[in-house]
Amino acid sequence: MQNQLQPRPIGLIFSALLVALEGIFVGALAARLGLALLSGDTRSLVTSIALFALVAAAAIWIIFVALNLFRGKRWARSAGVFWQLVQLAVASGSFSGQFGSQAIGWALILPSVLVLALLLSKKVVAATMGHIDNRED
């Protein structure tokens, strides 16, 4: 159990903030997909509904992970690492293909690498593992 008086490491706060910003951005993408769905700007209604539901669920999940990462939950660190790996996979595909964009690729890679480094730092791992010395001296 984490002592409430012990300050959170700055790496934990910053990584939770970055993951929350990623979740907000994915939420904005979901809103954009929802507006396209409502305005009829889609080629396939069923596919658009499925994509909207998937992106909206991802946004909710990412924000939930960020909140629990800020609280120092152990599972949130691994969920945050997983999300960064997903972003890196998407970023690698952004460099090629018909709709390839280096700007999008780098915009995904840079924060993902930063968040991965923060989530795997010793202080963040210790804070999320609950390694706090509760002995009274």
**Distance from the first to the final alpha carbon of the chain:** 19
Contacting residues for 12 by C-beta, under 8 A, at least 6 apart: 69, 70, 72, 118, 123, 124, 127, 128
What global pTM score does this model have? 0.85
Residue showing tokens 């930063």: 114
- Please report, as a single letter, which amino acid is at residue 90: V
| % of the chain exceeding 70 in pLDDT | 91
Identify the band that residue 77 occupies on the pLDDT scale cut at 50, 70 and 90.
very high
What are 17-73's pLDDT values in tens digits? 999 999 999 999 999 999 999 998 889 999 999 999 999 999 999 999 999 999 999
Q: Which among 67, 35, 65 is positioned nearest to 48, based on CA atoms?
A: 35
